[in-house]
Structure 1
Amino acid sequence: MHSESSFHPDDFPDTLQDLPGIRLDAGAVGQAFVAAQGAQVVSWHAADGIERLYLSPSTGGLTRDGRKAMPIRGGVPICFPQFSDRGSMVKHGFARNLPWRLDQRAQASLTMTQRDGDASRQHWPHAFEAQLSVRMEFGALEILFTVVNTDSVAFSFTTALHTYLRVDDIRQIRLLGLEGVAYQDATDGCKVKTQQETALSIPAEVDRVYLNPPGIVRMVEQDRSLLTISQQGFCDTVVWNPGPDRARMLADMPDEDWLHMLCVEAACASAAVTLAPGERWEGSQRLCVG
């Protein structure tokens, strides 16, 4: 039986940028790549062949010999059981840094699991089971994240699907659907503000946790809809781009790549989820072309 914190390369025969993982190829439905580390979806494109997820060309990550350099910069990192630095744990929690176990795979889907073990208990004392399911449909990618409390006591966590979307030029991108929504502005001491603009533009650094947002936002480029992004189960939506100044401080991302990415994240960041023993929580994010 596989240890939950060990890496078994035979389960992950494919590579992308030297990251071991699994390539899903469902023909006209789409293609995706899911890394062994963090069960992290790092590539997805539908029948049009356009890559929709950003992956830094200079990122680190788990190598085939089992050595881990750093978190993977791009794709859809799983933040669990802590979002960002909102707590005493390693930033964004430990789940994205550990190898996950492959449970099931098909042509257009897979399921991976992480359970508590020696590696997780270095950071968090609780018994849990986390599961990530990926499913491609025509023009769409859906990611479902589930947490079950297998402990004898209640625990709380924050979490996010930290989705990096790939764009040609962030200065041409607008997000629709967040007008009138309150948000915590992490660039200004997490002060709560309200978005006044109908369309959010990203001219420089943006780091916002939108509180009780609508379940759907749209990413457009010059009035052409690129993606419809929907979520269920998550109470917040995070929008993040480091901007040019902070991007230069990121060792695992080229300085100019802030122009080519935008994070739109399904999250429970502003308030923790609490599960009693045996309770289950789930949240999902769906990306649809157009």
Structure 2
Amino acid sequence: MTKIYEYTQQPHFWIVHDEQGYWQVPARNNGWQDRSPFVGHAVNLREVADLGGIDLGLPAASAADSFTQELQALPGLTLSNAQGDSAFVTRQGAQVVSWKTADGRERMYLSASTGGMTRADDTIPAAAIRGGVPVCFPQFSDRGPMVKHGFVRSLPWQVATSPSAQSPAMATFVIEDDAQTHQIWPHAFHAEVGVVLDAGRLVITLTATNRGDVAFPFTAALHTYFRVDDIRQVELQGLQQVRYQDATAGCVEVVQQDASVKIAAELDRVYMSPPKKLLLLENGQPSLQIEQVGFEDTVVWNPGPVKAAALPDFPDQDWLHMICVEAACVITPVTLAPGQTWTGGQILSLPSR
């Protein structure tokens, strides 16, 4: 997304921000040709829309230009590091749908029959992508008047900072309110998803800013689908004695008694004020450490065999190969005053050996 600012300390230049960074551009026609990197302070920038008739000659780039790769026909881009880890993020929803660690193992579940925005069908809003890390905002699930899990997961995002030769393992994606979102939700907002890929570690952050002059509440989640070999051999540790709402039983509140969560049928729980670090085990061995910051709840979900068979974008037997462990703010909505910003994140890492 390209934005233009007035540089209050040097009035003969505009500052242009695109996916490559900030540029100082002479305030004349075709000034873009003589741009140079901007090294001033952002506090001295004021966003503008009227350039007084000047045509800077900015390239007519589209938001899709940065998403040149595809995974299951979903346009996106790849992050990688020197250690051999990689991740794939889609244009739709800024959704991480693949995370491969250096051992070659895929850590994210992505349905082979998922819907979503493809290059051949870029209908907006798009069908949800079933898998990876859907960004639920500004509403979690059906706990409110909006479409389930909010609307940003079904819209195209733009690249604020893209992977480069110098920083191939990090990227930032943005979306803001527009005429279309105002028909669903009246508030002015700015949301960012940051993705950082380290050796054996993936960090995903969600940041929301209130750009308007009225406070608004929201709920949110990073709805992470993990790929597992066999859910019947999986345990999630760290939730003993934590209260949860059981969505399969009218959200009745229950206290987790067992030392670990095990899944043999449908499970849909919102754990309230859980520990910030959980451990996923497969066949009795630690598989992943799951940590969250900023989020106050944890959602654990698996559709089980009956609901899986009823989901059109989910193969019947795939309930055996996934578990959702989600960093979430569900029970108590976050309220942002005008100009206020909130950030939450999920940190996924291989356990120490």
Aligned partner letter, 1:58: S
* Equivalent of residue 222 in structure 1, options 273, 276, 283: 283
Over 6 Å off, 4+ runs: none
Partners of 2:189 and 2:101 in 1: how far apart? 34
Q: Is the 8 A contact 2:245 2:254 kept in 1?
A: yes
| 3-state SS of paired residue (1:10) | helix
1:89 aligns with 2:146: yes
Partners of 1:7 and 1:186 in 2: how far apart? 41
Partners of 2:271 and 2:253 in 1: how far apart? 9
Aligned length: 288
Instruction: Quote the offset at 1:271 in angstroms.
Output: 1.4
Instruction: Quote the offset at 1:7 in angstroms.
Output: 6.7
Partner of 2:71: 16
Residues 58-137 of structure 1: pairs in structure 2 closer than 5 A: 58-65=113-120, 66-68=122-124, 69-106=126-163, 107-137=168-198
Larger of the two Rg values belongs to structure: 2
Higher relative contact order (CA 8 A, sep 6+): 1
Task: Point out where structure 2 has 5 or more consecutive residues left out of the alignment.
Answer: 4-60
Instruction: Quote the offset at 1:9 in angstroms.
Output: 2.5
Listed one character per residue, the Cα deviations across residues 44-71 of structure 1 (whole Å, up to 9, x for unaligned) are: 0111110000000000101114225510
1:142 aligns with 2:203: yes
Partners of 1:61 and 1:2 in 2: how far apart? 25
1:281 aligns with 2:342: yes
| Superposition TM-score, scaled by structure 2 size | 0.80
Partner of 2:328: 267
Aligned partner letter, 2:130: R
Partners of 1:2 and 1:79 in 2: how far apart? 25
Instruction: Quote the offset at 1:25 in angstroms.
Output: 2.3
Partner of 1:55: 110
1:166 aligns with 2:227: yes
Instruction: Quote the offset at 1:75 in angstroms.
Output: 0.2
| 3-state SS of paired residue (2:288) | strand
Instruction: Quote the offset at 1:222 in angstroms.
Output: 2.4
Partners of 1:89 and 1:7 in 2: how far apart? 29
Instruction: Quote the offset at 1:29 in angstroms.
Output: 4.6
- Report the CA distance shift for 1:187/1:22 in structure 2 as closer, same or farther (over 3 A): same
Aligned partner letter, 2:123: R
Partners of 2:106 and 2:229 in 1: how far apart? 11
Q: Is the 8 A contact 2:63 2:159 kept in 1?
A: no
Partners of 2:336 and 2:225 in 1: how far apart? 28
| 3-state SS of paired residue (1:20) | strand
Larger displacement relative to structure 2 (273-282 or 113-122): 113-122
Aligned partner letter, 1:287: L
Q: Is the 8 A contact 2:81 2:199 kept in 1?
A: no
Residues 18-33 of structure 1: pairs in structure 2 closer than 5 A: 18-33=73-88
Partners of 2:179 and 2:116 in 1: how far apart? 20
* Equivalent of residue 241 in structure 1, options 275, 278, 302: 302
| Superposition TM-score, scaled by structure 1 size | 0.97
Aligned partner letter, 2:315: P
CA RMSD of the aligned region, Å? 1.4
Partner of 1:205: 266
User: % of aligned pairs identical?
Assistant: 54
Aligned partner letter, 1:55: L
Partners of 1:218 and 1:258 in 2: how far apart? 20
Partner of 2:257: 196
Q: Is the 8 A contact 1:29 1:137 kept in 2?
A: no
Listed one character per residue, the Cα deviations across residues 99-149 of structure 1 (whole Å, up to 9, x for unaligned) are: 001011220010000100122112100000000000011100000110000
Aligned partner letter, 1:204: A
Q: Is the 8 A contact 1:144 1:283 kept in 2?
A: yes
